[in-house]
Amino acid sequence: MKIGGTPYRTIWPESDGAVGIIDQTRLPHAFETLKLATLEDAAHAIRIMQVRGAPLIGVTAAYGLALAVRADASDGGLESAAKTLAATRPTAVNLAWALNEMLQILRPLAPAERVAAAFAKAAELADDDVETCRRIGAHGKAIIEEIAGKHDRTLNILTHCNAGWLACVDWGTALSPIYQAHDAGIPVHVWVDETRPRNQGAALTAFELGAHGVPHTVIADNAGGHLMQHGDVDLCIVGCDRLAAAGDAANKIGTYLKALAAKDNGVPFYFALPLSTIDWTLSDGVRDIPIEERDARELTHMTGRAESGDIVTVQVTAPGSAGANPAFDVTPARLITGIITERGVSPASREGLASTYPEYARTA
Amino acid sequence: MKIGGTPYRTIWPESDGAVGIIDQTRLPHAFETLKLATLEDAAHAIRIMQVRGAPLIGVTAAYGLALAVRADASDGGLESAAKTLAATRPTAVNLAWALNEMLQILRPLAPAERVAAAFAKAAELADDDVETCRRIGAHGKAIIEEIAGKHDRTLNILTHCNAGWLACVDWGTALSPIYQAHDAGIPVHVWVDETRPRNQGAALTAFELGAHGVPHTVIADNAGGHLMQHGDVDLCIVGCDRLAAAGDAANKIGTYLKALAAKDNGVPFYFALPLSTIDWTLSDGVRDIPIEERDARELTHMTGRAESGDIVTVQVTAPGSAGANPAFDVTPARLITGIITERGVSPASREGLASTYPEYARTA
């Protein structure tokens, strides 16, 4: 998407052989790009979250392996580089998946052939992700278009957390339909939940919507219910970290509360995700999806820009009070209007998902 | 309640004729008391929110009038002081009410009699508030006791915002039942919603529970639904800014979302409030209670303590992104288990409230 009128992806090959990225640790207060020239640069970028979001982490690891084989294309070098990259974010499923895709291509090749093949495969993984997100957006845009057809005014769409292009290579998942609607001239305005405790909405979603020129307003996570009660939300679209085969959706903590309010006020509530996010082995998502408990410091402390321009971290809770920080919650299928993937929109139910994706459902 | 083992009220007469308060602008990072010696001290304390919370603002204004008549007990001095105090927080209903109570007593008296009468009436208003809150707590404690009787473990109670003793003179409203249960030896643990955007939970509720020794944990406003889904909340108690005669309750933004989650998970949800909070002229609270829209800076900027010890304000949202800040929302009566006042517990419905308070309901 665009930043100040210039189209960007979150990762790209540079003409000098390096790999360019946006330093996301500096967002939203500064927009800076970086060049990754070595395996260690790529591993470092993943480790300290200069890149974040499952798809982008996977593609960065793929490019990291390409940078590694350029320095050492031997079997030993390849395997050692893959291990280094896999250890940067050990719980990221997409990271392991992307490295595996790369190794399957590279292992059978002679060392001399590996560099070109590695860069080509990394570029292919990036392009595949862009295409997946573009399709999610096209299906979601059709939903927005239909609702817009009923009103002669700007459509208000609420989103939670950041499921935008900054987490992917381009387009994003939940935000892809919004970008496509906006680019097509449908008047949309986005309510951006700030998304405590890590503020991905206030920082990243607001930044990327603003940079592309999409009208939006940041709100406290507490405000969505009130806005829905008063007719100020036409539609909710959020991303998804894991979808159970029965349609229950794990996403950033607080999503469930917004889905309850949407149901209570007759507002459609959609999850947008790539097919790869569906876990066909899980039936009861509320019971079975494990929820990560993260460091309470994410809640008790906040980082922002002081008047001096310095980035400062401050404690906002009473000294000595403990904090708890469950990072995700699960929205039961009964609260979900539909699941948007690259293949289309399906009901959030075992039958609905199975009929749209029969080849996967059979393996459950 | 206690701070470090010492019992406090939020306002008290000092032996030297001044009026003592806790400087709440310094909480939770420092506990400091102040002496108000003049009308201007009292007006300033209300204006810059060294005292906050409707009941405490009212009592501070009453003491402010007493300080004023000590300096100038003439009719002109009395009326001018009342005007000065009324202008400090023009929308605070309790402030106008307390000043009116004082003026009714003081106007008929000779100037020489006014000083003693003013201090006596201010003390009476303070004592009345303490007694009201104590009774709310006693009725609420009975609810906690009943639920505790069904479990052989610590009871988990969720609250939103600050409806504690810091907003009143002592006890508080929503927290009064919790203090009384804790003091009676019932094992309770409180989930404290941080309450964005002004963080009254993370700052004030966490501070006062911690200072009194009540076990508690601060959580993001997003977390309550997840905790309820997993059986980690036995009961919710919150305060109330305005209750419609039909039982719809206005309270800090986000309360509605927690009430939806409580309903969805079979968790009882109570509002605790003095009778004076009930607006017998309003029927449909969602439609009719006006919601204050506050400065977006409360959302976009946060204040806390930096590592250096300095209190610093930082911007947390993307630069250039607008914010919206509705300060309250309305929880429909159908989501409310009961209304706790100084007179008892009643259903949140027109019939329920009318049968408990027949003399008020008749005026509707």
pLDDT at B142 over 60: yes
Nearest to A319 among B29, B318, B320 (CB): B29
Reported pTM: 0.95
Residue B290 contacts A where some CB pair is shorter than 8 Å: no
**Nearest to A216, CA basis, from A28, A48, A36, A32:** A28
Copy the structure tokens of residue B40. Answer: 């201007």
> Coil, strand or helix: which one is A278?
strand
| B90 φψ region: left (φ > 0), alpha (ψ -120 to 50), beta (else) | alpha
The complex scores an ipTM of: 0.94
- Dist. CA B252–CA B271, nearest whole Å: 12
Contact A210 B321 (CB under 8 A): yes
- Dist. CA B165–CA B241, nearest whole Å: 15
Q: How far is CA B44 from CA A126, B14, B203, in A?
A: 60, 18, 22
pLDDT the model gives residue B8: 97
Q: From the CB of residue A350, how many other CB atoms can be counted at a distance below 10 Å?
A: 16
Contact B257 A225 (CB under 8 A): yes
Locate the chain A residue with the closest alpha carbon to B209: A321
Contact B254 A225 (CB under 8 A): yes
Residue B218 contacts A where some CB pair is shorter than 8 Å: yes
Could you tell me the sign of the dihedral formed by the alpha carbons of A175, A176, A177, A178, in that order? positive
pLDDT the model gives residue B227: 98
- Dist. CA B192–CA B158, nearest whole Å: 6
Element (DSSP H or E) covering residue B43: helix B39-47
Residue B229 contacts A where some CB pair is shorter than 8 Å: yes
* Spatial contact of B85 and B65, defined as CB atoms under 8 Å apart: yes
Residue B203 contacts A where some CB pair is shorter than 8 Å: yes
Q: How far is CA B338 from CA B148, B249, B258, B357, in A?
A: 18, 11, 15, 14
Which residues 30-69 of chain B have a CB within 8 Å of chain A? none
- DSSP code per residue over B287-299: HHS--PBPPTHHH
Per CB-CB distance under 8 Å, the chain B contacts of A329 are 222-223, 225-226, 229
Phi then psi for residue B45, to 5 deg, are -60, -40
What confidence tier does B362 reach under pLDDT thresholds 50, 70, 90? low
* Spatial contact of A14 and A20, defined as CB atoms under 8 Å apart: yes
pLDDT at B280 over 70: yes
- Dist. CA B245–CA B361, nearest whole Å: 8
pLDDT digit string (tens) for B91-136? 777 899 999 999 999 999 999 999 999 999 999 999 999 999 999 9
Q: Which residue, among B222, B297, B336, would best test binding to A if mutated, counting the most A CBs under 10 Å from its CB?
A: B222
Contact B196 A221 (CB under 8 A): yes
Residue A218 contacts B where some CB pair is shorter than 8 Å: yes
pLDDT digit string (tens) for A238-268? 999 999 999 999 999 999 999 999 999 999 9
Residue type, B338: G
The DSSP bridge pattern shows strands A249-252 and A242-244 to be antiparallel
Residue B300 contacts A where some CB pair is shorter than 8 Å: yes
The DSSP 8-state label assigned to residue B203 in this structure reads I
Contact A220 B286 (CB under 8 A): no
Could you tell me the sign of the dihedral formed by the alpha carbons of B279, B283, B288, B294, in that order? positive
Nearest to B226 among A196, A224, A253 (CB): A253
pLDDT the model gives residue A58: 96
CATH of region A135-361: 3.40.50.10470
Pick among 1.10.260.40, 1.20.120.420, 3.40.50.300, 3.30.565.10: CATH of A2-128: 1.20.120.420
Residue B77 contacts A where some CB pair is shorter than 8 Å: no
Element (DSSP H or E) covering residue A33: strand A33-36
Contact B194 A302 (CB under 8 A): no
Q: How far is CA A215 from CA A157, A269, B155, B295, in A?
A: 11, 20, 45, 19
Contact A260 B256 (CB under 8 A): no
What confidence tier does B209 reach under pLDDT thresholds 50, 70, 90? very high
Residue B223 contacts A where some CB pair is shorter than 8 Å: yes
pLDDT at B364 over 70: no
Per CB-CB distance under 8 Å, the chain B contacts of A226 are 253, 256, 291, 326, 328-330
| Residue A241 among the catalytic residues | yes
Q: How far is CA A118 from CA A101, A115, A170, B59, in A?
A: 10, 5, 21, 74
- Cite the beta strand spans of A253-307 per DSSP E: 269-272, 278-279, 301-306
Contact B317 A206 (CB under 8 A): yes
The DSSP bridge pattern shows strands B269-272 and B235-238 to be parallel
Share of chain B above pLDDT 90, in %: 94
pLDDT the model gives residue B112: 96
Nearest to A317 among B206, B306, B329 (CB): B206
Per CB-CB distance under 8 Å, the chain A contacts of B286 are 229
Residues of chain A with pLDDT under 50: 364
pLDDT digit string (tens) for B31-63? 999 999 999 999 999 999 999 998 999 999 999
Q: What is the mean pLDDT of chain B?
A: 96
- Dist. CA A317–CA B201, nearest whole Å: 8
Nearest CA distance, A197 vs chain B (angstrom) = 6
Share of chain B above pLDDT 70, in %: 99
- Dist. CA B29–CA B25, nearest whole Å: 9
CATH topology agreement for domains B2-128 and B135-361: no
- Residues of B with catalytic annotation? 241
pLDDT digit string (tens) for B145-175? 999 999 999 999 999 999 999 999 999 999 9
- Interacting residues of B63 by C-beta distance below 8 A, sequence separation 6+: B11, B13, B19, B36, B42, B119, B122
Q: Which residue among A129, A221, A241, A248 is the active-site one?
A: A241
- Dist. CA A59–CA A73, nearest whole Å: 19
Residue A320 contacts B where some CB pair is shorter than 8 Å: yes
pLDDT the model gives residue A362: 63
pLDDT the model gives residue A363: 56
Domain residue spans in chain B?
Answer: 2-128, 135-361
